[in-house]
Copies of this chain bind each other. A is one copy, B any other.
């Protein structure tokens, strides 16, 4: 039972994970700043996560993810990462916007679609290194809203 969490709770878990990459102690204030919510909201969220065994927390102490919490946090972060890369690197969306959008989308995509998107992003960023045409064609299309026919013709020859 991977203990399905709400979008909001997933955000808290993700935030805690991100902060503990950088700091040894994760505090309520830090989480509150990162997520743009007030401290009481954090306290309450932590209580809930704690009841679900996703974080470790003693009153007035610092917060830490449990094993279970880490699993979910990693999953969310992964979803975020993929979406961000898709928006930023493939579609060329501006950095900040891509981050914001990834934050919102990361909770709505089914595992199946996520898996497909992951593959797609990998494909887009690694596979066609020696085949510049389609990424170039995409870039052109994103910019101009129509195909670059010249590029298309240049890029390949009819075989037999």
Q: In the assembly, what is the distance between CA of A126 and CA of B146, in Å?
A: 10
Q: In the assembly, what is the distance between CA of A53 and CA of B107, in Å?
A: 31
Q: A61 contacts the other chain (Cβ, under 8 Å)?
A: no
B-contacting 9-mer, from A8-16, A23-31, A39-47, A86-94: A86-94
The answer to whether A117 touches B91, judged by C-beta atoms less than 8 angstroms apart, is yes
Q: A119 contacts the other chain (Cβ, under 8 Å)?
A: yes
With a cutoff of 8 Å between Cβ atoms, the chain B residues found around residue A101 in the complex are 108-110, 113
The answer to whether A134 touches B142, judged by C-beta atoms less than 8 angstroms apart, is no
Q: In the assembly, what is the distance between CA of A103 and CA of B80, in Å?
A: 19
The answer to whether B120 touches A128, judged by C-beta atoms less than 8 angstroms apart, is no
**Residues of chain A at interface, number, CB under 8 A:** 43
* Cβ distance A105 to chain B, nearest Cβ, rounded Å: 5
Q: A112 contacts the other chain (Cβ, under 8 Å)?
A: yes
8 Å CB contacts to B: which residues of A94-141?
A: 94, 97-98, 100-101, 104-105, 107-110, 112-113, 116-117, 119-120, 122-123, 126-128, 130-131, 133-134, 137-138, 141
8 Å CB contacts to B: which residues of A59-73?
A: none
The answer to whether A152 touches B131, judged by C-beta atoms less than 8 angstroms apart, is yes
Closest to A148 in B: B127
Q: In the assembly, what is the distance between CA of A147 and CA of B126, in Å?
A: 9
